[in-house]
A and B are shown apart, each in its own frame.
Chain A
Amino acid sequence: MLARAETWWTILKICLEERLVYRGDFALGTLMRFLPIVTQIFLWTAVFAAAGSGLIMGFSPDDIIAYYLLTMLARAFSSMPGLASGIARQVREGEIKKFLIQPIDLISYLLLARIAHKSVYYLVAAGPFALVYYLCRSYFPGWPPLEVFAAFLLSLVLAFLLGFFLEATMGMIAFWFLEVSSLLFVYMLFTFFFSGHMFPLDFLPDPWRTFVDFMPFKYMAYFPAVVFLGKVQGTELVHGLMIQAAWVLGFIVLCRVTMQAGFNRYSGYGG
């Protein structure tokens, strides 16, 4: 047990150091990522000016900007750059063999590496994020009550887990198709549009609105943001968190099952 914990700790430490090498690039990249927010502010200001009404589907101009800023934070938790394509590459090039030989579980290893990666990211990105949020503080309605804030943090952690296991499952499909880049592109398109990263999902007309409610994507950006803004409250909030947790559990199982099935049919391509 102790030896195992020590192994995981070592893996975590190595991954942490690996990520810290490029910290300057990281901080700059994070700050640049807020540039599209600037154009969004101008765009929505123009939209509200022409619309004449103070609210669009319950969102005020300030709400929308706050919403975009919050989805950036949620995406910082739920987006997993390179996870699925990394798994696919390892399958294609045969690197994945080492997980069959070594006594290390593939999913746990990837999860630890991702936690290390994300921790460093938050450490470095905290500065730029705090700066931008401070500059934009007038758009926010203020701190939510403590229990709502706790629910917000919980939904962020769940968003991280959902993003990880969903994308890992996508990566496991490579055991069957080897090249999954076009599939991943479709996935990226879906998450971008239906996670609420592009606009608040309340704006969608009805058949689509119901569709996104039955999809896991909205828990990766939309849900944490509206929780913070106090747009989901009471039992609705509790239900939302439960459905989010259910999606996480579902994908944990699915990810394991596809990995096992994949290992069974794996035939060791590459050198």
Chain B
Amino acid sequence: MSYQPSYLGVFLTFVRNSLVRDMTFRANFIIDTISSMSWMIMNLGFYVLVYQFTPNIGGWGKYQFFVFIATTMFVNSLVQAFFMPNAEELSEQVRTGGLDFALLKPIDTQFLVSLRRISWSSLGNFFVALLLLIYAVPRIEGLELSLWQVLLYPVYVLMGVLILYSVMIALAATSIWLGRNQSLYDFWFYITNFSRYPMEIYEGTWGTPLRQLFTFVIPILVVINVPARLMAKPLAWEHSWLAVFGVVATLGSLLGSRWVFKRALWSYRSASS
């Protein structure tokens, strides 16, 4: 008998369960939403301040940079909503031996541990980002949106989310080898910190190698830069290699992280049972 679980059905169940759970503590939910929003708004304030002193940063004008920040918020809110709580839980499950139960279920383990819990409050930033995008795009001088830009933007945002997910699940999987990876979140923060700026600012003796490292080895610079450029700057053929590379990088990181995850699972020795 071959039993094929319905991945969509299971995913929708997770979505519903998480919503019920988040809505049980409604005040907490609202505070969480507001606090993650205010964090992003403060960040925006910083750049409003910086643009008082300069017309552009690395060739990005004020409103173009707002699109960049909106893209950052889209990607981060999706990653934080869908994958962050699960990656944190994974390293805890490895330590306590709770991963046993995930391994026993007749469904792909990576799917199960990656999507079990969805943090709805993180999606608040998604709407702030949408507002920011709608505010900023018409104010960019000399930009005429084509249909391609509008269609491809969400696709590349999703690809960015998948790249970040790959980095995250690979990092979380290392906790299987290490027993526990408590500084996971810190490490994650410091790595993704590099992705939050236009790649043009990484210039010079140190900057160029750094940019190449984070474009070709760990492609986190692709995550925000490619969709943001697509939306905020006129389409130009000389940048089309970036768009192609974005697809390659996404597939590469997904396959790479899948491999790391599988390898890590082989080394899993159940704890405390």
**A interface residues with partner B (beta carbon < 8 Å):** 25, 28-29, 32, 35-36, 38-39, 42-43, 45-48, 50-51, 56-57, 182, 185-186, 189, 192-193, 198-199, 203-205
Contacts and interface: CB of A to CB of B under 8 A. Distances in A.
A43 B39 contact: no
Contact of A29 (B45, B55, B183): B183
B240 interface: no
Interface stretch (B115-123, B147-155, B159-167, B190-198): B190-198
Given A32-B190, A189-B39, A189-B42, A42 B202 contact: yes
B49 A46 contact: no
Contacts of B193: 35-36, 39
A203 B202 contact: no
Contacts of A205: 49, 52
Contact of B42 (A29, A39, A56, A192): A192
B218 interface: no
Interface residues of B, number: 32
Which DSSP category, helix, strand, loop or mixed, fits chain B's interface?
Answer: helix
A185 B200 contact: no
Contacts of B183: 25, 28-29
A39 B201 CA distance: 9
A86 B166 CA distance: 34
A47 B50 contact: yes
Contact of A35 (B57, B190, B207): B190
Contacts of B39: 189
Nearest to A22: B182
Nearest to A204: B49
A203 B47 CA distance: 11
Given A45-B204, A203-B50, 13 more contacts: A28-B183, A32-B190, A42-B202, A43-B57, A43-B197, A45-B203, A47-B53, A50-B54, A50-B58, A192-B42, A203-B53, A205-B49, A205-B52
Contacts of B58: 46, 50
A82 to B, nearest CB: 14
Contacts of A43: 57, 197, 201
23 contacts: A32-B190, A35-B193, A36-B193, A39-B193, A39-B194, A42-B203, A45-B203, A48-B54, A50-B54, A50-B55, A50-B58, A51-B53, A51-B55, A57-B53, A182-B31, A185-B31, A189-B38, A189-B42, A193-B45, A193-B46, A199-B49, A203-B50, A203-B53
B186 interface: yes
B109 interface: no
Given A39-B197, A205-B52, A32 B207 contact: no
Contacts of A36: 190, 193
Nearest to B57: A46
Contacts of A32: 186-187, 190
A45 B201 contact: yes
